[in-house]
């Protein structure tokens, strides 16, 4: 370096950014035999060193920075940072880049010192902004000026949302946290961004810049470090903030700083734009005008610190550092980090005692100039400086290897997040700087290599972390390719349908639906979907053609209502106008165009129609069956209810319709596959596993609920899920009885078996078991039994034995009796044992919600049996107590049926797949009183439901508050006044009920005029046969009481019963 007084050509090349100033200086230097350039950043020094090496070779170029030195034996050119320029080296050419940094509060004094004192032997060049022109003219007499105009326009375009920034944009923030947050958002929305900060090592920063320059990402997020010398293809610069922390406090950006950063947009002849984004407010109009016209106020003062330091003592050094500037255009800077460190260490007695003499004071000053790359608190960094100075002034005046190794080892870790890696890089940079300080180390070359290797590893790890966190290569590639409007290369895996577009896995093609891999951002997801739609257009078209031409076996329907093609869902069934006519709906995310969607829908609708028509053929055949009147109505309801129709109290109209069927109607329904059971109407062909599963799907679609699971094939009963509505079980052919669902055909069969058991076990007293019932009253029993057994319910035949007693609720039994039937009014139980009745039928449904249609036959009552049963029940406990000797319990005896009870054989329950506990619920639901004792089931029939001529639960004159069977459940006030007297007497209340014939059509011998009939026992007001012809003129039913037996009327000597009695008396 020559003396400032030596004659040399001095040129100031001034102008905006991107005007080729640095390129000119490099060319001028390489045109000389030797040269030196000082750059403001280590990164810029390394970048231009690489360029020079490519031009003249590594043997002629040296790199000198605070943390890196590459010194060949005889270098011709030196590429340096301003602080590290070897001031004692004489060269022909010398240049200083970014000379306007003379006005920087922290480093300005270094640039000012080079401006005033650094010269080349033949040529000196200062590069920077035009704002420095007045001071250079004043401080450097004879300097020539070369103003470089900007060839491209820089235009302000206001505020833009971050997600709307154009590609090739740079977003500028002023803190690491803001940079990370913005980069994360850009990754989610735009596929990723490169990150550039001053805290990054040159290796990491170069890798990130290469990521942007290669086009792998279209966005760059940076601090104001972007404003110095980074030449990149940036079209737009967006400021995320307009203020920064300068070490002392938060301040707004000057117009010159805005221009320095915004000037990165546009290159050479390409125009650029700048603006704001995020929460940043608009840039002031005056600032915008200055930036666009490159017209800025010149610098009036620059920072200066005395370069001629006095090392005689620490006090003399501090005094020389505080010397006043020699010119009014120069001003003292605030205390720099090195000066602060010296002031703190000077107060340490041990260091003050060791720092004696120019050599030691100079060494202390060199130690204080170690940069605080980590930006720790001054005390923390100074503590390390003190340790280094003590080692250098003790012993062999070298830093111990274990001391350096310990600090370096703590930094040599690749784990942790981005912050941790950045901090470790800053920490190892301190030791890299130390390793380049002459003879401070015993083997400086080793430590230079060791610390550089650690920094490189950390830099690579940091680059990888930054890329993983802030770059979604897949989304970035797809968005770029979509922007290029190029054909996308797509591949669909034959095994799992994975879709690969441009080398990136973007999702899975299932059937005709593309399931994209989520990117975490709306724009990213949109890019993936658009790319897939464009790339899969041909594949989708081919699949649609195959689907339209495929045969039925490749289609299926899953339990959730999804339509599958070759095992992949392509559509789903939604609720339609009728339960048997669901609608085919394609998924909203389908990639099909309108024509393709129509072709797919047409094919699927044809398959659904054929599939339902085949699997549920009996239901669809009902619509074509030659049915009329009530039969047609029942067929319509069966279809609406998926083939099973209850005859419960809730469906009294169904029961009435069944009773109103003619013989021809019953046969027509039988031919159509309909069984008329006592509990339900059902279609046996729909109770098979395949139809059941399909019915479950249709119910779920129509109800909009999941319902329950279809039982395993062959299951005739199973525990119900209380969360599942009973309607679901009913739809698949099961009736819920208690906590158990039983298949309707099996419960009909079981109910018929129980009726026969009761009929055979409890013949009417005084009547032979083989007395034949009249055909008119025996027919319903036969119909019910045959329906339960799977026979033709529409063809009734008479039976011989139909002497079933009416139901009795026994409330006096001392053992546990399970009885779900409601109490009589006033909670007065009917305590009479079973009484033989004339009208034989199955149990009443007073204990359940469903009525039954039961046979009727003639029988005699036996009140004496009731009295004896009561007495036996009252004395049962005393008999048990006296059974064994004193002090010894009697040996327990097997439970026995009481008077009026029937023991249910254990082998009747296994066909239903239930045990005794479940049997209690089933029998109770069927209308029987049930007693469970020691695992044995005993049942007694209940009083049957009183059927009325109109098929309703109450007859003429019955209070609206009463339920079926005549038991009053409503309030007493709801009864007619005539019933008030008998409100507390069950017998009187039963007598008060009107009774009419059933709802079935009349048969032979029925419908005669009441004058031609003989009156029966119990006739009269409120009692038995009404005889008014209402309700179809069928046979009447008889009401019974647990009170004293009414007087018996004389039997007509011409009746069959009189003849029978005469024969029995012989």
Alpha helical stretches, state H, 536-662 = 537-549, 594-615, 617-624, 629-640, 652-659
Q: How far apart are CA 450 and CA 217, in angstroms?
A: 33
Last residue of a domain, one of 699, 720, 741: 741
pLDDT for residue 912: 87
The residue-averaged pLDDT of 39-68 equals 92
Last residue of a domain, one of 741, 773, 806: 741
Q: Examine the domain organization and report whether 72 and 175 are in the same domain.
A: no
Q: Examine the domain organization and report whether 528 and 624 are in the same domain.
A: no
Question: Closest Cα partner for 795 from 806, 803, 786?
Answer: 786
Classify residue 232: in a domain, yes or no: yes
Q: How far apart are CA 289 and CA 622, in angstroms?
A: 86
Q: How far apart are CA 899 and CA 871, in angstroms?
A: 11
Asked if the model's pLDDT at residue 526 lies above 60, the reply is yes
- Which residues lie below 8 Å from residue 473, measured CB to CB, with a gap of 6+? 191, 192, 216, 504
Cα dist from 42 to 264, 578, 704, whole Å: 19, 78, 69
Question: Of 838 and 6, which is predicted with more confidence?
Answer: 6
Classify residue 1052: in a domain, yes or no: no
Question: Closest Cα partner for 990 from 833, 795, 807?
Answer: 807
Alpha helical stretches, state H, 744-794 = 744-761, 775-788
* Listed range (68-82, 112-126, 222-236, 1043-1057) with the worst mean pLDDT: 1043-1057
**Do residues 784 and 854 make contact, with C-beta atoms less than 8 angstroms apart?**
yes
Q: Examine the domain organization and report whether 210 and 273 are in the same domain.
A: yes
Asked if the model's pLDDT at residue 935 lies above 70, the reply is yes
pLDDT tens by residue, 343-381: 999 999 999 999 999 999 999 999 999 999 888 777 889
Max CA separation in the chain (angstroms): 165
Classify residue 693: in a domain, yes or no: yes
Asked if the model's pLDDT at residue 1004 lies above 70, the reply is no
pLDDT for residue 494: 64
Give the confidence band of 465 by pLDDT, cuts at 50, 70, 90.
Answer: very high
Q: Examine the domain organization and report whether 510 and 570 are in the same domain.
A: no
Q: Examine the domain organization and report whether 525 and 594 are in the same domain.
A: no
Cα radius of gyration rounded to whole Å, the chain: 52
**Do residues 941 and 834 make contact, with C-beta atoms less than 8 angstroms apart?**
yes
* Listed range (248-257, 368-377, 527-536, 899-908) with the worst mean pLDDT: 527-536
Last residue of a domain, one of 149, 173, 195: 149
* Count of domains for the chain: 4
**Do residues 809 and 820 make contact, with C-beta atoms less than 8 angstroms apart?**
no
Q: Examine the domain organization and report whether 643 and 671 are in the same domain.
A: yes
Look at residue 930 and give its three-state secondary structure.
Answer: strand
Question: Of 842 and 667, which is predicted with more confidence?
Answer: 667
Q: Which residues of 726-744 are buried (b: 16+ CB within 10 A; e: fewer)?
A: eebbbbbbbbbbbebbbbb
Q: How far apart are CA 191 and CA 171, in angstroms?
A: 15
Alpha helical stretches, state H, 118-169 = 133-139
pLDDT tens by residue, 805-830: 333 333 333 333 333 333 333 333 33
The residue-averaged pLDDT of 783-793 equals 39
**Do residues 717 and 911 make contact, with C-beta atoms less than 8 angstroms apart?**
no
- What is the 3-state secondary structure of 340-405? HHHHHHHCCHHHHHHCCCHHHHHHHHHHHCCCCCCCCCHHHHHHHHHHHHHHHCCCCCCECHHHHH
Asked if the model's pLDDT at residue 1047 lies above 90, the reply is no
Asked if the model's pLDDT at residue 665 lies above 70, the reply is yes
Backbone angles phi, psi at 192, to 5 degrees: 140, 170
Beta strands 936-940 and 902-903 are: antiparallel
Question: Of 778 and 585, which is predicted with more confidence?
Answer: 585
**Do residues 64 and 80 make contact, with C-beta atoms less than 8 angstroms apart?**
yes
Classify residue 1017: in a domain, yes or no: no
Tokens of 115: 């401006």
Q: How far apart are CA 865 and CA 873, in angstroms?
A: 12
Provide the 8-state DSSP code for 35.
Answer: E
pLDDT for residue 502: 64
pLDDT for residue 232: 83
Q: How far apart are CA 410 and CA 427, in angstroms?
A: 9
Question: How many other CB atoms sit within 10 Å of the CB of residue 884?
Answer: 11
Q: Examine the domain organization and report whether 714 and 574 are in the same domain.
A: yes
Torsion angle defined by CA atoms of residues 956, 960, 961 and 963, in that order, rounded to the nearest 10 degrees? 50
Give the mean pLDDT of the chain: 77
Classify residue 255: in a domain, yes or no: yes
Give residue 213's domain range: 155-298
Question: How many other CB atoms sit within 10 Å of the CB of residue 104?
Answer: 18
Q: Examine the domain organization and report whether 163 and 290 are in the same domain.
A: yes
Classify residue 145: in a domain, yes or no: yes
Tokens of 105: 């509060």
Asked if the model's pLDDT at residue 1018 lies above 80, the reply is no
Q: Examine the domain organization and report whether 135 and 173 are in the same domain.
A: no
Classify residue 225: in a domain, yes or no: yes
Question: Of 591 and 779, which is predicted with more confidence?
Answer: 591
**Cα angle value 429/434/436 (rounded, 5°):** 100
Tokens of 909: 């329950």
Asked if the model's pLDDT at residue 880 lies above 50, the reply is no
**Do residues 195 and 466 make contact, with C-beta atoms less than 8 angstroms apart?**
yes
pLDDT for residue 1063: 57
Instruction: List the strands of the sheet with 740-743, edge to edge.
Output: 717-719, 740-743, 734-737
The residue-averaged pLDDT of 936-949 equals 66
Beta strands 169-172 and 219-222 are: parallel
Give the confidence band of 585 by pLDDT, cuts at 50, 70, 90.
Answer: very high
Q: Examine the domain organization and report whether 215 and 274 are in the same domain.
A: yes
For helices 337-346 and 378-392, what crossing angle results, to 10°? 60
The CATH number for 101's domain is 3.40.50.300
Question: Closest Cα partner for 965 from 739, 815, 806?
Answer: 806
Q: What percent of the chain has pLDDT over 70?
A: 71
Q: Examine the domain organization and report whether 166 and 243 are in the same domain.
A: yes
Is this prediction's pTM over 0.85? no
Asked if the model's pLDDT at residue 1017 lies above 60, the reply is no
Cα dist from 937 to 735, 811, 852, 919, whole Å: 21, 16, 22, 8
Q: How far apart are CA 874 and CA 99, in angstroms?
A: 121
Asked if the model's pLDDT at residue 161 lies above 80, the reply is yes
DSSP 441-477: BSSHHHHHHHHHHHHHHHHHHHHHHHHHHHB-HHHHH
Give the confidence band of 683 by pLDDT, cuts at 50, 70, 90.
Answer: very high
Q: Examine the domain organization and report whether 729 and 640 are in the same domain.
A: yes
Classify residue 393: in a domain, yes or no: no
Question: Closest Cα partner for 1057 from 912, 857, 878, 897?
Answer: 857
Look at residue 870 and give its three-state secondary structure.
Answer: helix
């Amino acid at each position: 370096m020559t003396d400032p007084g030596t004659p040399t050509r001095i040129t100031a090349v001034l102008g905006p950014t991107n005007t080729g100033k640095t390129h000119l200086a490099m060319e001028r230097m390489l045109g000389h035999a030797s040269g030196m350039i000082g750059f403001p950043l280590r990164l810029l020094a390394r970048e231009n060193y690489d360029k020079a090496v490519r031009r003249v070779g590594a043997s002629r170029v040296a790199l000198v920075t605070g943390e890196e030195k590459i010194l060949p034996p005889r270098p011709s050119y030196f590429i340096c940072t301003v602080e590290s320029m070897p001031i004692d080296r004489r060269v022909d050419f010398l240049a200083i880049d970014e000379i306007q940094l003379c006005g920087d509060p922290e480093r300005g004094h270094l640039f000012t010192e080079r401006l005033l004192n650094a010269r080349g032997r033949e040529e000196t060049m200062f590069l920077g902004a035009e704002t420095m022109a007045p001071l250079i003219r004043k401080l450097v007499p004879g300097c020539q000026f070369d103003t470089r105009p900007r060839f491209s326009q820089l235009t302000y375009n206001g505020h833009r949302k971050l997600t709307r920034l154009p590609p090739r944009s740079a977003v500028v923030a002023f803190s690491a946290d803001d940079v990370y947050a913005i980069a994360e958002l850009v990754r989610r929305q735009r596929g990723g961004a490169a990150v550039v900060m001053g805290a990054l090592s040159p290796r990491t920063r170069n890798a990130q810049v290469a990521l942007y320059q290669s086009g792998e990402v279209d966005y760059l997020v940076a601090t104001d470090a972007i404003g110095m010398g980074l030449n990149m293809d940036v079209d737009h610069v967006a400021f995320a903030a307009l203020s920064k922390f300068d070490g002392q406090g938060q301040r707004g950006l000057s117009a010159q700083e805005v221009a320095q950063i915004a000037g990165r947009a546009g290159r050479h002849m390409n125009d650029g734009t700048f603006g704001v984004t995020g929460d940043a407010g608009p840039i002031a109009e005056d600032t915008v005008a200055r930036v666009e016209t490159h017209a800025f106020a010149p610098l009036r003062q620059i920072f200066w610190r005395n370069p001629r330091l006095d090392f005689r003592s620490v006090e003399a050094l501090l005094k020389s550092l505080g010397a006043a500037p020699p010119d009014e255009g120069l001003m003292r800077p605030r205390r720099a980090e090195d000066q602060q460190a010296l002031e703190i260490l000077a107060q340490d007695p041990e260091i003050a005692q060791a720092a004696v003499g120019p050599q030691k004071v100079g060494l202390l000053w060199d130690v204080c100039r170690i940069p605080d790359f980590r930006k720790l608190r001054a005390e923390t960094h100074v503590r390390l400086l003190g340790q280094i100075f003590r080692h250098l002034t003790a012993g062999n005046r070298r830093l111990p290897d274990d001391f350096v190794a310990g600090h370096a080892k703590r930094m040599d870790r690749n784990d942790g997040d981005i912050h941790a890696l950045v901090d470790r890089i800053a920490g190892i940079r301190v030791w890299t700087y130390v390793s380049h300080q002459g003879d401070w180390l015993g083997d400086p070359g080793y430590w230079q290599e060791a610390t550089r290797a650690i920094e490189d590893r950390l830099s690579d790890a940091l680059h990888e972390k930054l890329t993983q966190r802030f770059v979604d290569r897949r989304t970035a590639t797809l968005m770029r390719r979509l922007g290029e409007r190029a054909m996308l290369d797509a591949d669909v895996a034959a095994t799992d349908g994975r879709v690969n577009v441009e080398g990136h896995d973007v999702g899975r093609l299932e059937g005709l639906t593309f399931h994209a891999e989520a990117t975490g951002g709306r724009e990213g997801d949109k890019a993936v979907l658009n790319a897939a739609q464009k790339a899969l257009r041909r594949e989708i078209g081919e699949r649609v053609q195959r689907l339209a031409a495929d045969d039925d076996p490749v289609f299926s329907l899953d339990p959730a209502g999804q339509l599958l093609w070759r095992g992949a869902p392509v559509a789903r069934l939604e609720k339609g106008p009728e339960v048997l006519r669901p609608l085919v709906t394609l998924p909203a995310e389908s990639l099909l165009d309108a024509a393709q969607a129509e072709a797919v829908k047409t094919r699927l609708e044809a398959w659904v129609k054929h599939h339902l028509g085949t699997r549920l053929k009996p239901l669809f055949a009902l619509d074509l069956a030659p049915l009329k009147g009530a039969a047609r109505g029942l067929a319509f309801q069966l279809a609406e209810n998926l083939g099973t129709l209850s005859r419960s109290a809730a469906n009294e109209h169904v029961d009435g319709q069944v009773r109103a069927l003619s013989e021809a109607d019953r046969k027509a329904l039988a031919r159509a596959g309909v069984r008329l059971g006592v509990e339900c109407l059902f279609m046996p062909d729909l109770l098979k596993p395949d139809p059941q599963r399909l019915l479950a799907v249709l119910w779920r679609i129509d109800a909009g609920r999941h319902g329950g699971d279809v039982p395993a094939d062959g299951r005739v009963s199973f525990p119900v899920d209380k969360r599942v509505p009973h309607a679901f079980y009913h739809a698949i052919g099961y009736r819920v009885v208690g906590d158990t669902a039983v298949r309707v055909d099996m419960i009909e069969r079981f109910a018929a078996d129980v009726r026969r058991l009761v009929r055979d076990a409890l013949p009417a007293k005084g009547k032979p078991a083989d007395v034949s019932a009249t055909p008119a009253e025996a027919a319903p029993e036969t119909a019910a039994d045959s329906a339960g057994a799977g026979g033709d319910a529409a063809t009734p035949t008479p039976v011989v034995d139909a002497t079933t007693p009416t139901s009795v609720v026994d409330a006096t039994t001392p053992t546990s009796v399970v009885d779900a039937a409601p109490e009589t009014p006033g909670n007065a139980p009917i305590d009479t044992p079973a009484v033989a009745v004339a009208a034989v039928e199955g149990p009443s449904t007073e204990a359940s919600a469903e009525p039954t249609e039961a046979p009727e036959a003639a029988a005699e009552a036996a009140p004496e049996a009731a009295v004896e049963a009561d007495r036996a029940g009252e004395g049962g406990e005393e008999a048990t107590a006296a059974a064994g000797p004193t002090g010894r319990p009697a040996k327990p005896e097997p439970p026995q049926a009481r008077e009026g009870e029937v023991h249910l054989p254990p082998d009747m329950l296994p066909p239903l797949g239930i045990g005794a506990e479940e049997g209690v619920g089933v029998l109770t639901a069927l209308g029987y009183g049930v007693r469970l004792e020691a695992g044995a089931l005993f049942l007694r029939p209940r009083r049957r439901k009183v059927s009325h001529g109109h098929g309703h639960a109450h007859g003429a004159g019955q209070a609206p508050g009463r339920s079926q069977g005549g038991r009053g459940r409503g309030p007493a006030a709801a009864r007619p006044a005539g019933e008030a007297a008998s409100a507390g007497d069950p017998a009187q209340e039963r007598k008060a009920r009107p009774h009419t014939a059933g709802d079935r059509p009349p048969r032979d011998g029925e419908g005669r005029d009441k004058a031609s009939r003989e009156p029966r026992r119990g006739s009269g007001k409120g009692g038995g046969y009404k005889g008014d012809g209402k309700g179809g003129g069928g046979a009447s039913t008889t009401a019974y009481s647990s009170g004293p037996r009414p007087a018996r009327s004389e039997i007509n000597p011409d009746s069959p019963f009189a003849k029978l009695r005469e024969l029995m008396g012989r």
